[in-house]
Amino acid sequence: DIQMTQSPSSLSASVGDRVTITCRASQGIRSDLDWFQQKPEKAPKRLIYAVSGLQSGVPSRFSGSGSGTEFTLTISSLQPEDFATYYCLQHNNYPWTFGQGTKVEIK
């Protein structure tokens, strides 16, 4: 199975901060890497597909980058509505695997 190591597991940040979350795959996954946001008691929502594709309706302050085994989600200027938990997902090999999540909290 491909392991997705996501870091950090949590972070505290202020509105306006630049935030970066990383996912490292245990082997190459080409561009089969997506990012999701989940707010409490809500279904996850896809933000980024295929490493860097911005899901329709998602603000442009969210961006994704990376290749091979290392991938990054960046929020350029954190907004109040961005406080949530973020997950990466690899769907290159079965079983598809998620990172363990990064909880973004208010500083």
Q: What is the binding site for other proteins (CB under 8 A)?
A: 32, 34, 36, 38, 43-46, 49-50, 53, 55-56, 87, 89, 91, 94-101
Burial class from Cβ neighbours inside 10 Å (0-12, 13-18, 19+) for residue 34 reads: buried
Question: Whose Cβ is closer to other proteins: residue 38's or residue 76's?
Answer: 38
Closest contact distance (angstroms) between CB of 83 and other proteins is: 18
Question: How distant, in Å, are the alpha carbons of 18, 89, 107 from that of 31?
Answer: 24, 11, 33
Question: Whose Cβ is closer to other proteins: residue 83's or residue 96's?
Answer: 96
Return the biggest CA–CA distance within the chain: 38
Closest contact distance (angstroms) between CB of 95 and other proteins is: 5
